[in-house]
Amino acid sequence: MSRPQFDPSQYAVQLEAKKQRLSGLLAPFAAPAPEVFESPREHYRLRAEFRLWREGEDRHYAMFEAGDKHAPIFFDDFPIASARINALMPRLKAAWQMSSALSFKLFQVEFLTTLAGDALLTLCYHRPLDAAWQAAAERLAAELQVSLVGRSRGKRIVIGRDFVEEELQVAGRRFRYRQPEGAFTQPNGEVNQKMLGWAHEALGERTDDLLELYCGNGNFTLPLASRVRRVLATEISKSSVNAALANLADNGVDNVCLVRLSAEELTEALNEVRPFRRLAGIDLKSYQFGSVFVDPPRAGMDPDTCELTRRFERILYISCNPETLAANLAQLNDTHKVTRCALFDQFPYTHHMEAGVLLERR
């Protein structure tokens, strides 16, 4: 993780530059002006990862500038991270300084927190974890009131839970999420909540079905399921699928069928190229899909998946890479038009941004 250039006095200028950049990328598609959803200026990031750098007998939280792994930048606090992470940082550092069982060959620390106040620490080691480590880690977890995961080569020890619990409010309803250690979660909780609200509103109330690709832990699935008759959702990561199934059950959402397929595999299934045992018992022809929701990785949709989305009246697309979003829109532009777009500032003080577009058939 590289160090963001934290400067709240420049936030408005940077956000305006992102708005202009997104508008320029979407200009060839006659997109309307983007709706802009700001981030909190500080304490917005719910997860953080630090290398531990040793100087003499001390270890320090460290990050590096991009491309430079030899000149560490030390941190005692991290103002872009959540208040909970900042409160935990000095207490964790004091604990490893007082305990050789915790500090010996500790090389990386990861924090995962939630708006709801939950926290999980992951401690990574270049050595086997023994009984002395576990006893010290159990005392630490109790003292800090966190869950804790220890990782070494080939071994993972969980103290408490291997996930955090989040609560997000969308359109007046609260949704509960399990967010597993090591799995992808949206880093900026406040902006994520705004993003869910925008997607919920943009989809609108429907009487037909929704196809969702790249559903992750069900971040969007839960609120969007309330807008349609049924959802067929896909995700390839086993840990994310398990989290999504738990989240659906915890929230009493019963109109979602979740299958562990990649977007490319589902495209093959819908095109009847080949059958999949993971679709046994699912009648794809019974779905009346009116909309598709996609939240792909940075590479965007592959050409075949992009071509698949043409079949739908509405394409709701969340992107973490506006360049690949624009490339996908170029493929879709002859059949669909952009009727809404949004900028979600998930990553203040960096060039990264999240965007959303609603496309409707011409």
Evaluate whether 303 touches 220 at the Cβ level (below 8 Å).
no
The more confident residue out of 185 and 338 is 338
Number of other residues whose CB lies within 10 A of the CB of residue 310: 15
Residue 1 has pLDDT above 60, yes or no: no
Evaluate whether 324 touches 299 at the Cβ level (below 8 Å).
yes
pLDDT at 4: 61
Rounded Cα–Cα distance for residues 27 and 17 (Å): 15
73: which strand partners? 63
- pTM comes to 0.93
Known catalytic residue at 215: no
150: which strand partners? 123, 157
Number of other residues whose CB lies within 10 A of the CB of residue 57: 7
Evaluate whether 322 touches 23 at the Cβ level (below 8 Å).
no
316: which strand partners? 293, 358
Evaluate whether 46 touches 165 at the Cβ level (below 8 Å).
no
The one catalytic residue in 124, 215, 320, 341 is: 320
pLDDT at 152: 97
The one catalytic residue in 181, 190, 265, 354 is: 354
Farthest-apart Cα atoms in the chain, separation: 66
How does pLDDT run across 221-245, given as a tens digit for each residue?
A: 999 999 999 999 999 988 899 999 9
Average pLDDT over residues 200-227: 96
Evaluate whether 50 touches 61 at the Cβ level (below 8 Å).
yes
pLDDT at 307: 93
Buried b (16+ CB within 10 A) or exposed e, 158-195: ebebbbbebebebeeeebebbbbbebebbbbbbbbbbb
Q: What crossing angle do the helices spanning 131-144 and 83-98 adopt, rounded to 10°?
A: 140
Q: Which two tokens stand for residue 298?
A: 């940075």
Known catalytic residue at 354: yes
pLDDT at 3: 53
pLDDT at 275: 84
Residue 2 banded pLDDT, cuts 50, 70, 90: low
pLDDT at 262: 87
Rounded Cα–Cα distance for residues 168 and 340 (Å): 23
Residue percentage of the chain with pLDDT more than 70: 99
Domains (ranges, CATH) in the chain?
Answer: 8-41+188-361 (3.40.50.150), 47-164 (2.40.50.1070)
Average pLDDT over residues 182-190: 92
Average pLDDT over residues 170-189: 94
Residue 359 banded pLDDT, cuts 50, 70, 90: very high
35: which strand partners? 342
Evaluate whether 85 touches 111 at the Cβ level (below 8 Å).
yes
Rounded Cα–Cα distance for residues 204 and 125 (Å): 48
**Which of the 8 DSSP states describes residue 343?**
E
Average pLDDT over residues 286-291: 96
